[in-house]
């Protein structure tokens, strides 16, 4: 069975989407083997526990700096032999300690059409910019924040009269669907690097 680890920091609505649509979906041969949370007080932890998924808390405070924190993350990940590590609302920069331990196996979810609006508060930034469109990106994680090649992207129109609340709701809805699809495609072996263009991810959606 394909083994997934999920890294979270907060609400965990994207984790919930993966629990409901991948972990508990009998038609996808995959399970969430571990959830790692960057804080002890996130609703995401309860979501994982409700689903009987092993949960670990790894805080920066307990480890002092990012490298030491990531060494602990790697140690915990190695215990469950993940095929894929999904950063689903993990709100902290990760280091090569993690990325080099799982090359091309760490993916990240971001609420904009990268490379537009990287970093924090991307939904508000798109709204404030007056952009007519934003979206969602799932990409391979690299050392540069929100910098790795996209795997799946989907635009979300910004409507006249949209508020942060209404736009966020639509963006999160797309995130839940896109992340589920992306993880399912990985589990089915349908994602690989383009051998001729290294920054391009090839996704075989036929029959998916």
- Told to check if 148 binds ligand GRF by CB under 6 A, we report no
Shortest distance, position 194 Cβ to ligand GRF, whole Å:
25
Do the Cβ atoms of 175 and 148 come closer than 8 Å?
A: no
Strand order across the 133-140 sheet: 55-57, 30-37, 2-8, 84-87, 106-110, 133-140, 150-157
Shortest distance, position 170 Cβ to ligand GRF, whole Å:
12
Q: Which two tokens stand for residue 205?
A: 């959606």
State which residue, 172 or 181, has the beta carbon closest to ligand GRF: 172
Catalytic positions: 110
63-71, 92-100, 105-113, 159-167 -> range binding ligand GRF (CB under 6 A): 105-113
- Told to check if 110 binds ligand GRF by CB under 6 A, we report yes
8-16, 20-28, 69-77, 188-196 -> range binding ligand GRF (CB under 6 A): 8-16
State which residue, 8 or 158, has the beta carbon closest to ligand GRF: 8
- Told to check if 23 binds ligand GRF by CB under 6 A, we report no
State which residue, 99 or 109, has the beta carbon closest to ligand GRF: 109
SS (H, E, C) the chain: CEEEEEEECCCCHHHHHHHHHHHCCCCCCEEEEEEEECCCCCHHHHHHHHCCCCEEECCHHHHCCHHHHHHHHHHHHHHHCCCEEEECCCCCCCCHHHHHHCCCCEEEEECCCCCCCCCCCHHHHHHHHCCCEEEEEEEECCCCCCCCCEEEEEEEECCCCCCHHHHHHHHHHHHHHHHHHHHHHHHCCCEEEECCEEEEEEECCCCC
Question: Within a 10 A sphere around the Cβ of 197, how many other Cβ atoms?
Answer: 10
Contact pattern from residue 171 through residue 190 relative to ligand GRF, giving x for each residue in contact according to CB under 6 A and a dash for the rest:
-x--x---------------
Shortest distance, position 198 Cβ to ligand GRF, whole Å:
25
63-71, 103-111, 150-158, 180-188 -> range binding ligand GRF (CB under 6 A): 103-111
54-62, 74-82, 107-115, 182-190 -> range binding ligand GRF (CB under 6 A): 107-115
Contact residue for ligand GRF among 74, 88, 98, 185 (CB under 6 A): 88
Chain contacts with ligand GRF (rule: CB under 6 A): 8, 10-14, 88-89, 109-111, 172, 175
């Amino acid at each position: 069975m394909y083994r997934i680890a999920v890294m979270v920091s907060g609400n965990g609505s994207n984790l919930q989407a993966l629990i409901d649509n991948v972990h508990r979906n009998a038609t996808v041969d995959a399970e969430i083997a571990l959830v790692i949370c960057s804080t002890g007080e996130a609703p995401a932890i309860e979501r994982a526990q409700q689903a009987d998924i092993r949960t670990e808390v790894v805080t920066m405070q307990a480890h002092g700096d990012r490298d030491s924190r990531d060494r602990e993350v790697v140690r915990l990940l190695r215990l469950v032999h993940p095929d894929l590590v999904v950063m689903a609302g993990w709100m902290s920069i990760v280091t090569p300690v993690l990325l080099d331990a799982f090359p091309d196996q760490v993916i990240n979810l971001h609420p904009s059409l990268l490379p537009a609006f990287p970093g924090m508060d991307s939904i508000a930034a798109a709204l404030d910019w007056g952009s007519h469109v934003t979206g969602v990106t799932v990409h391979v994680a690299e050392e540069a924040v929100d910098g790795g090649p996209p795997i799946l992207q989907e635009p979300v129109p910004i409507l006249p009269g949209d508020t942060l609340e209404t736009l966020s709701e639509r963006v999160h809805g797309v995130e839940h669907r896109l992340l589920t699809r992306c993880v399912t495609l990985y589990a089915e072996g349908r994602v690989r690097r383009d051998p001729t263009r290294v920054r391009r991810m090839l996704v075989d959606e036929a029959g998916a």
